[in-house]
Structure 1
Amino acid sequence: MTTPIHIGFLLFPNVTQLDMTGPLQILSRVPGAKTHLVWKRYEPVETDARFTINPTVSFADCPQLDVLCVPGGFGVGDMVLDAEVLDFLRRQAEGARYVTSVCNGALLLGAAGLLKGYRSACHWMWRDYLHRFGAEPVAERVVRDRNRISGGGVTAGIDFGLTLAAELAGEETAKMLQLAFEYDPQPPFDCGTPDKAGSEITARLRAMQHEKLVLAEQKIFSVPV
């Protein structure tokens, strides 16, 4: 009988759903995996794409997780100041085999004090904020530092999921999962990082996101460290 592997994703308002659903889809197929969508309560949670996702378990009812994963999104700005969320992450991290994140979810781990002295990936627009929490930002799709595994921005969550699947079930299983999901990226444009996109497109995107970034930054810098 396969020993259950409890894999929990933090769900919160204004989460970027692909940060969560990308790796969740991969990891749900790992032999023995029991996936959990965890939030304070059981009511639907609105994502930044404006549709809702139903939690499967509350903080109070959540079992000890083998894998704790924190996705990102603009909602992270509120979560870094939420004592109930931070306490949940700290409690679960104590017993987890892997403490992980995707995108700027790394900042939420940082705010909980779980990244001090660790290398971490993060979305390029948020990466430098990791310094505030004593982490070393790394511009890579997936970063492994001891039992901390992090994915970069949004779509890197799929690469992260396959990397973690290999850790949990072996490389052959991860390869079969990649084939099963026909994960063979061939994007129509080669502009997925600031270096590739160029300064003009990068500046335009930053300008579009400026107001949200400023609001989130104010909250990030108000977190005691």
Structure 2
Amino acid sequence: MTDSNENNAAGKQLTRAGRSRRDVLKLGSAATLGALLGGGALLGRVAPALAQAGSEAALAPNDPLDILIVNYDGGTLLDFAGPSEIFHRLPNTNVRYASLNGGNVTLEFGVVYGKTERLADIEKTDLILVPGGSNLAVPMGPAYQAQIRRLAESAKYVTSVCNGSLVLAATGILNGKRSACHWAFLNKLSEYGAIPVSDRFVEDDHGRFMSGGGVTAGIDFALRVAAKLRGKQAAEFTQLVIEYDPAPPFHSGHPRDARPEILAMVDKELPGASKGLARVPGVR
């Protein structure tokens, strides 16, 4: 019993420490932005100033934005962790997480992500994001599909990262729409009526449909979404705050750059990958 109490106390201390670090980053970011915008801006004044800075944004400065990220067992953490890091820092933006039954979901590699809302309890959202995963059996199920389709049909923006586009496509909402996907699964999109596009970011229908390529493309995707909805300055500010300045040690992140022997290794692990037709559990 003592060990349990000590562990709980340690967990609370860790949570407070994590929040404190994030608060410091936010305050530091606010101070930096205040200097850039003319000095002395307090934290409470940062969001309006940031929102007003992007006149090209699709949303007005004071328009609220509600973002829903769909979670499920077998999902990939980075697919939505990268975008959520960016979305949480945008002004007048609320980010929610939901799964079919609510509560905890067990992601890829056994990572437990908790306290999601129940999809059926959410009436609507402005933007829905469906991340991908190593196993799509759960979100491809009829109950999940029905909830995703319901929310996507009424959403202003329908988005995905990685092979989450396959989940969306299976609902029928991407029929005839251009979409990105992880390169290994890209051409599976056409089997569901979507149009596969081998780009890191793809949009259709004047930006109502936006998608990112595989896993790490979610960060690029989210910055593009941020720029479209909240303006370029808001996106650039967020990019700087999270120090997104990629400099990969190897040029092996896409088949067009990878050495043939590396591509062969992936093909052995995921048969059909080099043709964009790799199979993932849950997808016929």
**TM-score, normalisation: structure 2:** 0.73
Q: Give the alignment of 1:97-136 within 5 angstroms.
A: 97-136=156-195
2:75: which partner in 1? 15
Query: What fraction of aligned residue pairs are identical, expressed as a percent?
Result: 39
Structure exhibiting the larger radius of gyration computed from Cα positions: 2
Secondary structure of 2:256 counterpart: helix
Is 1:59–2:119 an aligned residue pair?
A: yes
Cα distance per residue 1:95-131 (max 9 Å; x no partner): 2110000000000001000111111110000001001
CA deviations on 1:80-101 (whole Å, 9 max, x unpaired) are 2x11111111111122110000
Aligned to 2:108: 48
Structure 1, 49-58 or 95-104: larger mean CA deviation: 49-58
In the alignment, is the contact (CA less than 8 A) between 1:8 and 1:37 conserved in 2?
yes
The CA distance in 2 between the partners of 1:96 and 1:215, in whole Å, is: 27
**Partners of 1:78 and 1:13 in 2: CA distance:** 7
**Cα shift at 1:35:** 0.7
Q: How far is 1:77 from its partner? A: 3.8
Unaligned ranges ≥5, structure 1: none
SS of corresponding position for 1:139:
coil
Matched, 1:140 2:199: yes
- Residue 197 of structure 1, CA deviation: 0.7
Give the superposition deviation at 1:214. Answer: 4.3
Q: How far apart in 2 are the matches of 1:63 and 1:35? A: 15
Q: For 1:45-77, what per-residue CA distance to the aligned partner results, in whole angstroms no more than 9, with x for missing partners?
A: 111031110143111222411000000012224
**1:55-204 residue pairs with structure 2 within 5 A?**
55-80=115-140, 82-146=141-205, 147-204=208-265
Two-structure CA RMSD over aligned residues (Å) = 1.7
Give, as a single letter, the amino acid of the residue that structure 2 aligns with 1:35: V
TM-score by length of 1: 0.91
Distance in 2, matches of 1:139 and 1:55, equals: 35
Q: Per the alignment, do residues 174 and 50 of structure 1 end up closer, same or farther by CA in structure 2, a change over 3 Å counting?
A: same
- CA distance, structure 2, for counterparts of residue 43 and residue 119 of structure 1: 33
Q: Distance in 1 between matches of 2:280 and 2:179?
A: 23
Q: Could you tell me how far apart the structure 2 residues matched to 1:25 and 1:7 are?
A: 12
Q: Which residue of structure 1 lines up, in the alignment, with residue 59 of structure 2? A: none
Q: Is residue 209 of structure 1 aligned with residue 270 of structure 2? A: yes
Secondary structure of 2:145's counterpart equals helix
Q: 1:31 aligns with which of 72, 81, 91?
A: 91
The answer to which structure has the higher helix fraction is 2
Superposed CA deviations along residues 119-178 of structure 1, whole A, max 9, x for unmatched, are 111000000100101111111110011210000000000001001111221111111111
Contact 2:134 2:280 in 1 (8 A): no
Distance verdict in 2 for CA 1:215–1:153, change over 3 Å: closer
Q: CA deviation at 1:215?
A: 5.7
CA 200–156 in structure 1, closer or farther in 2 if over 3 Å, else same:
same
Tell me, which stretches of 5 or more residues in structure 2 are unaligned?
1-47, 49-61, 273-277
Deviation at 1:188, TM superposition (A): 0.4
Judged with a 3 Å threshold, the aligned counterparts in structure 2 of structure 1 residues 78 and 56 are, in CA distance, closer, same or farther, namely: closer
Q: How many residues align?
A: 217
